[in-house]
């Protein structure tokens, strides 16, 4: 009996051993933080502080501007030194609030509150929104929006995503080992909000210790099950995980709620627990710093806004002058031109590769080997779509369902002609939307 999975997918080298056995360490309080107003999908937050303002840890410095938007909080106490465009991990300069710390880390306390169990679903959602929680797996969709499905779309299954299928990254793995109770409590809070009867925790079976631990912790709950999944990229893709966990296929162009599911990352579940039970805003997250280009790989608890350079020096610095710095994992992460970029809510890892390990092979013509077609988890024909984009035949690209691509990068990984397939597809989407 095969383990549960989806059709397609690839098997990149896992490379988890760099940091999987290293417990989470707290990064010392940064001297200054750069907090972008756009750290989530949706409208950016609007700044509510000015240069010179004194701020406390946990204080809102940017407020949510729309329903699909999130507030951002000061992650250290200190003084606002600028509200300016700064380099952002997404590759462009975006508006950010820079705070110079006072080293005190004095918190803005919220009033002590009543019994948490008496909170209504709406109250809990309000706390999640106020805490500024975005999906911490990397997609950074505002969590409160995902927890607000329209009434005609009842949710019967909440899936907690502990798959962590990106090679190298171990932040979710460590969190499951070190904070299982909080993750489970957060999951139950979200299931309550959604009125979902079932919780499935999906974990790839290269994390057997986490699977065993969570199974032990959930033994007495009939409604929570821990699902062991085969190791395959992109097993943690939302639609792929739903398919593996429930057998349901989210219709093309639709959302998980259309098949009665909501998927939330384990880190998000932890943050939800913190927000609802302690009214603690999302001001820190776990970041894996790993790869051949970093001297001592670690899993760190990092304040949002911490410059990546701080993390690098905490982890022993670069191993050489010639490295590639990636925000995220090796499959979907974005390579950076500077280490002054901050850690943001979606930063699951900082991967540093030695320059000599970086693939620089020249692109060759497609030989129609069909490997990308065989492995595409969305069952597209990436070779054809990419060629259509290359020749600017955008309507043909659309006809071949370019918008169904989730940009997981599996096609580029497998291509023996070293074609930048997913790159063409991203370009094609951008060109289509500017037409």
Cβ neighbours for 25, distance < 8 A, ≥ 6 positions apart: 298, 299, 300, 301
Q: Is the dihedral of CA 380, 329, 10, 266 positive or negative?
A: negative
The yes or no reply on residue 213 touching another protein (CB under 8 A) is: no
Cα-Cα-Cα-Cα torsion 241, 246, 248, 249, nearest 10 degrees, comes to 10
Taking CB under 8 A as the criterion, the residue among 214, 227, 262, 366 binding another protein is 366
Q: Which burial class, exposed, middle or buried, applies to 237 when counting CB atoms under 10 A from its CB (0-12, 13-18, 19+)? A: buried
Total Cβ atoms within 10 A of residue 91: 13
Taking CB under 8 A as the criterion, the residue among 30, 132, 167, 186 binding another protein is 167
In degrees rounded to 5, what are phi and psi of residue 402? -55, -30
Beta carbons of 333 and 290 less than 8 angstroms apart: no
> What residues numbered 244-263 form the site for another protein, per CB under 8 A?
249-252, 254
Residue 271 or 323: the one with the smaller Cβ distance to another protein is: 323
Residue 61 or 165: the one with the smaller Cβ distance to another protein is: 165
The yes or no reply on residue 104 touching another protein (CB under 8 A) is: no
The yes or no reply on residue 330 touching another protein (CB under 8 A) is: yes
Given the DSSP bridges, would you call strands 198-204 and 224-229 parallel, antiparallel or unpaired?
Answer: parallel
Taking CB under 8 A as the criterion, the residue among 26, 84, 223, 364 binding another protein is 364
The yes or no reply on residue 347 touching another protein (CB under 8 A) is: no
Q: Read out DSSP for 145-201?
A: HHT---TTS---EEEEE----SSS--HHHHHHHH-HHHHHHHHHHHHHHHT-SEEEE
The yes or no reply on residue 369 touching another protein (CB under 8 A) is: yes
The yes or no reply on residue 294 touching another protein (CB under 8 A) is: no
Taking CB under 8 A as the criterion, the residue among 269, 377, 389, 429 binding another protein is 377
The yes or no reply on residue 316 touching another protein (CB under 8 A) is: no
Cβ neighbours for 135, distance < 8 A, ≥ 6 positions apart: 141, 142, 143, 146, 264, 265, 268, 346
Q: Which range in 32-40, 60-68, 107-115, 334-342 contacts another protein by CB under 8 A?
A: 334-342
Edge to edge, the sheet with strand 284-290 lists: 25-26, 298-303, 284-290, 349-354, 323-327, 334-336
Q: Cis omega (within 30 of 0) on the bond before 234?
A: yes
The yes or no reply on residue 195 touching another protein (CB under 8 A) is: no
The yes or no reply on residue 412 touching another protein (CB under 8 A) is: yes
Beta carbons of 164 and 204 less than 8 angstroms apart: yes
Taking CB under 8 A as the criterion, the residue among 50, 113, 209, 322 binding another protein is 322
Q: Which range in 114-122, 204-212, 274-282, 355-363 contacts another protein by CB under 8 A?
A: 355-363
The yes or no reply on residue 401 touching another protein (CB under 8 A) is: yes
Residue 161 or 327: the one with the smaller Cβ distance to another protein is: 327
x/- map, 24-53, another protein, by CB under 8 A? ------------------------------
Taking CB under 8 A as the criterion, the residue among 96, 198, 400, 428 binding another protein is 400
The yes or no reply on residue 404 touching another protein (CB under 8 A) is: yes
Beta carbons of 379 and 8 less than 8 angstroms apart: yes
Applying CB under 8 A, the residues found at the interface with another protein are: 10, 12-13, 167, 239, 243, 249-252, 254, 309, 318, 321-326, 328, 330-340, 351, 353, 355, 358-361, 364-371, 373-374, 377-381, 383-384, 400-401, 404, 409-410, 412-418, 420, 422-423
């Amino acid at each position: 009996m095969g383990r549960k999975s989806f059709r397609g997918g690839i098997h990149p080298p896992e490379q988890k051993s760099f940091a999987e056995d290293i417990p989470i360490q707290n990064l010392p309080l940064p001297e200054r933080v750069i907090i972008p107003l756009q750290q989530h999908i949706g409208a950016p937050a609007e700044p509510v502080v000015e240069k010179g303002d004194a701020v406390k840890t946990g204080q809102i410095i940017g407020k949510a501007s729309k329903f699909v938007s999130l507030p951002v909080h000061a992650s250290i106490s200190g003084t606002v030194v600028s509200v300016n465009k700064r380099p952002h991990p997404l590759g462009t300069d975006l508006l950010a609030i820079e705070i110079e710390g006072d080293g005190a880390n004095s918190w803005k306390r919220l009033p002590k509150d009543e019994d948490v169990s008496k909170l209504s679903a709406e109250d809990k959602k309000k706390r999640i929104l106020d805490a500024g929680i975005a999906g911490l797996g990397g997609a950074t969709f505002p969590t409160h929006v995902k927890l607000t499905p329209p009434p005609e779309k009842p949710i019967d299954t909440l899936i907690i995503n502990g798959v962590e299928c990106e090679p190298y990254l171990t932040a979710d793995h460590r969190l499951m080992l070190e904070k299982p109770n909080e993750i489970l409590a957060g999951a139950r809070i979200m299931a309550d909000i959604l009125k979902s009867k079932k919780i499935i925790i999906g974990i790839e079976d290269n994390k057997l210790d986490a699977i065993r631990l969570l199974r032990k912790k959930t033994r007495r709950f009939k409604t929570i099950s821990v699902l062991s999944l085969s190791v395959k990229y992109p097993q943690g893709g939302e639609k792929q995980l739903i398919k593996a966990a429930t057998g349901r296929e989210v219709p093309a162009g639709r959302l998980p709620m259309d098949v009665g599911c909501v998927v939330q990352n384990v880190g998000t579940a932890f943050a939800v627990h913190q927000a609802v039970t302690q009214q603690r805003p999302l001001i820190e997250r776990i970041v894996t710093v790993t790869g051949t280009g970093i001297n001592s790989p670690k899993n760190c608890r990092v304040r949002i806004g911490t410059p990546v350079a701080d993390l690098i020096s905490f982890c022993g610095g670069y191993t050489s002058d010639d490295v590639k710095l990636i925000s995220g994992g090796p499959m979907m992460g974005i390579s950076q031109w500077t280490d002054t970029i901050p850690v943001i809510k979606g930063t699951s890892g900082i991967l540093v590769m030695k320059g000599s390990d970086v693939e620089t092979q020249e692109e060759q013509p497609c030989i129609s080997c069909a490997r990308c077609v065989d492995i595409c988890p969305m069952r597209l024909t990436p070779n054809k779509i990419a060629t259509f984009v290359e020749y600017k035949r955008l309507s043909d690209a659309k006809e071949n369902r370019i918008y169904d691509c989730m940009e997981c990068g599996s096609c580029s990984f497998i291509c023996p002609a070293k074609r930048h397939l997913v790159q063409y597809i991203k370009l094609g989407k951008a060109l289509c939307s500017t037409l």
